[in-house]
């Protein structure tokens, strides 16, 4: 599994395709949303958490749609399947390396968000990062499962968001609500419900995806 993660990271470092695409699309989404809301409006701070999560969702789905591309184009999937490891180990390797990429994408995206929307994150930065990370865990788990599916389809660029986004809606709602709560500077207690929901979603999604992955790659 570690070898698999290492292979993914090596590949990404050589090409830098996924990360740069995710960064650019994320920043672009933040820009578009910034322009869509009047900068002088009172509503702007309220729209900020939503903007962050929409940008994260788009950047992540784009990253996920590329995650299985090398395997398909180079026929490496067969090679991977021939490896003497469990299918579920393949899933974990893929999901964890995806999670690493999505987190790296956030390293750029989040500061840009703070800059564009002029929010003060310092009091609860740790919590905001945790909430974001919980969101990425769920996206990676379901995204790896459906990424592996959509890569085999015609019109895969359309199919992945179409299948994945409705399923990720609980994460989006919980993430936006928790972030909004944290950025408004209130105490932590109000966000715990949402954090628990995200943890529940992540655990459920990871287990279901881990169990079902076997059926995706079956020949």
Per CB under 8 A, residues contacting other proteins are 142, 145-146, 149, 152-155, 159, 162-163, 166-167, 169-170, 173-174, 177, 193-194, 197, 200-201, 204-205, 208-209, 212, 215-216, 218
5 or 132: whose CB is closer to other proteins? 132
Compute the least distance from the CB of residue 80 to other proteins, in Å: 17
Q: In 10 A of CB 114, how many CB atoms?
A: 17
Quick count: other Cβ atoms within 10 Å of Cβ 172?
Answer: 18
Cβ-based nearer residue to other proteins, 66 or 181 = 181
Cβ 11 to other proteins, closest distance in Å?
Answer: 25
Q: How far is the CB of 29 from other proteins (least distance, A)?
A: 20
Nearer to other proteins by Cβ, of 20 and 46: the residue is 46
Between 21 and 163, name the residue whose CB sits nearer to other proteins.
163
CB of 19 to other proteins, least distance (A): 27
CB of 149 to other proteins, least distance (A): 5
d(CA 138, CA 209): 10
Between 96 and 172, CB nearer to other proteins? 172
149 contact partners, CB below 8 Å, separation of at least 6 = 163, 216
Residue 8 to residue 133: CA distance in whole angstroms: 20
d(CA 55, CA 63): 12
Report in angstroms how near the CB of residue 143 gets to other proteins at its nearest: 12
CB 112 within 8 A of CB 33: no
Say if residues 86 and 94 touch (Cβ distance below 8 Å).
Answer: no
The token pair that represents 146 in the structure block: 């459906």
Judged on CB neighbours under 10 Å (0-12, 13-18, 19+), 190 is middle
Report in angstroms the alpha-carbon separations of 138 from 33, 177, 199. Answer: 24, 16, 9
> Nearer to other proteins by C-beta: 28 or 192?
192
């Amino acid at each position: 599994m570690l070898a698999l993660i290492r292979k993914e990271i090596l590949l990404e470092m050589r090409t830098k395709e996924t990360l740069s695409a995710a960064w650019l699309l994320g920043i672009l989404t933040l820009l578009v949303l910034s322009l869509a809301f009047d900068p002088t409006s009172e509503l702007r701070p309220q729209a900020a958490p939503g903007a962050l999560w929409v940008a994260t969702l788009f950047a992540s789905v784009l990253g996920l749609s590329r995650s299985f591309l090398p395997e398909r184009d180079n026929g490496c999937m067969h090679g991977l399947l021939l490896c003497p490891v469990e299918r579920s180990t393949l899933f974990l390797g893929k999901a964890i390396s995806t999670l690493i990429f999505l987190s790296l994408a956030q390293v750029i995206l989040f500061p840009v968000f703070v800059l564009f929307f002029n929010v003060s994150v310092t009091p609860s930065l740790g919590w905001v990062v945790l909430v974001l990370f919980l969101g990425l865990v769920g996206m990676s788990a379901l995204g790896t499962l459906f990424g592996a599916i959509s890569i085999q389809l015609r019109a895969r660029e359309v199919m992945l968001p179409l299948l994945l986004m409705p399923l990720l809606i609980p994460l989006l709602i919980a993430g936006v609500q928790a972030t909004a709560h944290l950025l408004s500077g209130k105490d932590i207690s109000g966000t715990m419900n949402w954090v628990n929901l995200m943890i529940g979603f992540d655990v459920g999604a990871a287990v279901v995806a881990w169990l079902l992955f076997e059926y995706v790659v079956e020949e």
